Amino acid sequence: MKTLKLVPVNTSIGFIRHRTIAMVLSSLLVVASVFVFLANGLNFGIDFRGGTLIEASSESAVDLAALRGRLGALDLGEVQIQEFGKETDVLIRIAEKEGATDASNNLSAVEQVREELSSDFDVRRVEIVGPQVSAELIQTGIMAVLAAIASMLIYIWFRFEWQFSIGAVLALVHDVALTIGVFALLQLDFNLSILAAILTIVGYSMNDTVVVYDRVRENLRKYKKMDLAELLNIAINETLSRTVMTSVTTMLALLALYILGGEVIRGFTFAMIWGVIVGTYSSIFIASPLLMLLGVKRDWSGTQVD
C-alpha cells in the first residue's frame, strides 16, 4: 500500500539560508502586533472588564434594532447586542457601571433584562463578573502566562543549554505576541478561555520547538565538524515531516471543533488554530535560526546521550 507523504523523503529546503527574511518578517509582525495592541487595545470580555453577559435565544430571527430599542429603554448604561452564531440567538453585553464595588448593579440589570425578554426569548446563559473579580482575573492571567513562559525557560535550560532556552522562549513570546495582535486587530472578544488557549499554544509551540531542538542536539553530537547553518538545516528538514503531520492532525481536530463545537467555544478554537499555525511557523523559522544568532556549544563529547 502506497502511503501518503506530505513531505517527500529527503526533502532539503534551505530554511536557514532564508533566515533573514523570516527574522525580518517576524520582527515586523511582532512590532505590528504591539502597535495594534497599543492603538486598538483588546476587546476585553466581561471576565476581565467586569459586567454582564446574557445569551438569549428566540423562536424566530431576531430584529436587532428593535431589541436594541427595547433594552435601551431600560436605561442600563452601555448595552451591546450582537447576533450569536445563528440569527435566532443574541448576545447582550452590559458594561460595568463606573465606581461599582460589587455585582449588585449588574444583578438588577439582569433581572430587568430577564423580565423584558421573558415573553419572546429563552435566556440561555447569564454571566456576571464584578469589578473585584475581574481585576483579580487580569492579574492571575498575566501571572499565569509569565509563569508558563518562565517554567519553559527553566525546563529547556535544564534539559538543553541556555542558548536553546533563550531561543525557545523568544519563539514563544513571538507566538503569544502575534496571537494577542490578531485579537487586537480583529477586536475579537478576549476572555478567560482565550487566555486558556494562549497557555495551550505556549505548550503546543514549545512541544514543536523541543522536537526540532532535540534533533539539533543529536546532530551536534553526530556531526562534530559540520557548519552550524547546515547542521540546523538538516535537523529542521529531518523533523519537517513530523512537524507537518502533527500540525495537520491537530488542525483536523481543531477544525472539527471550530465548525461543529458550538458558538460558546468558537473564540477558543479560533485562537488555538491561529496558535498552531504561528507555533509551527515559529519553531521552524524562528526557534532554530535563533540558535545561529546565539551560537551554541559545539563540543558535546562530555554529555551523555540519553
Partner 1 sequence: MLHFSNFKITGIALLLLLGVLFALPNFMREETRLSLPGIIPSGTLNLGLDLQGGSHLLLAVDTDTVQRERLEDLTSDIRLALRGERIGYSGLARVPSGVSVTIRDNGDMEKAASVLQGLAQPVTSSVLTSFEQRADLSVENTEGQTFVLLVTEDAIAARNTRTVQQSIEIIRRRVDELGTTEPTIQRQGEKRILVQVPGLDDPERLKALLGQTAKMNFHLVDQSVSGYEVVNGKRPPAGSRLVYTDTEPQVPYVIRRRAMVSGERLVDASVGFDPQTNAPEVNFRFDALGGRKFGEVTQANVGRPFAIVLDDKIISAPIIQTAILGGSGRITGNFSVEEANDLAILLRAGALPAPMSILEERTVGPGLGADSVAAGRIALIVGFLAVIGFMIVSYSLFGLFANVALIANLVLIMAVLSGLQATLTLPGIAGIVLTVGMAVDANVLIFERIREELASGKNPIIAIDMGYSRALSTIFDANVTTLLAAIILFQLGSGPIRGFAITLAIGIVTSVFTAFVLTRLLVSLWLRRQGKPEALPI
Nearest residue (CB) to partner 1, 19 versus 215: 215
Closest CA to 168 of 132, 200, 127, 211: 211
Beta strands in 40-108 (DSSP E): 43-44, 51-58, 79-84, 86-95
Least distance CB 170 / partner 1 (angstroms): 15
Residue 210 contacts residue 160 (beta carbons within 8 Å): no
Output the smallest distance, CB 38 to partner 1, in A. Answer: 25
Are the C-beta atoms of 178 and 278 separated by less than 8 Å?
A: yes
Report the residue number, 87 or 111, with the smaller CB distance to partner 1. 111
Residue located via cell numbers 523523503: 9
* Nearer Cβ to partner 1 (185/211): 211
Q: How many residues does the chain have?
A: 306
Q: How far is the CB of 40 from partner 1 (least distance, A)?
A: 25
Q: In the complex, what is the shortest distance from the CB of residue 272 to partner 1, in angstroms, rounded to a whole number? A: 7
Query: How near is the Cβ of 115 to partner 1 at its closest, in Å?
Result: 10
Q: Any idea what DSSP says for residue 120?
A: T
Rounded to a whole number of angstroms, the minimum distance from the CB of residue 110 to partner 1 is: 8
Q: Which is nearer to partner 1, 36 or 137 (CB)?
A: 137
Residue with cell 515531516: 241
Cβ proximity to partner 1: between 62 and 103 the closer is 103
Cell output for 62: 431576531
Dihedrals φ, ψ of 295, to 5°?
A: 75, 130
- 3-class DSSP string for 204-228: HHHHHHHHHHHHHHHHHHHCCCCCH
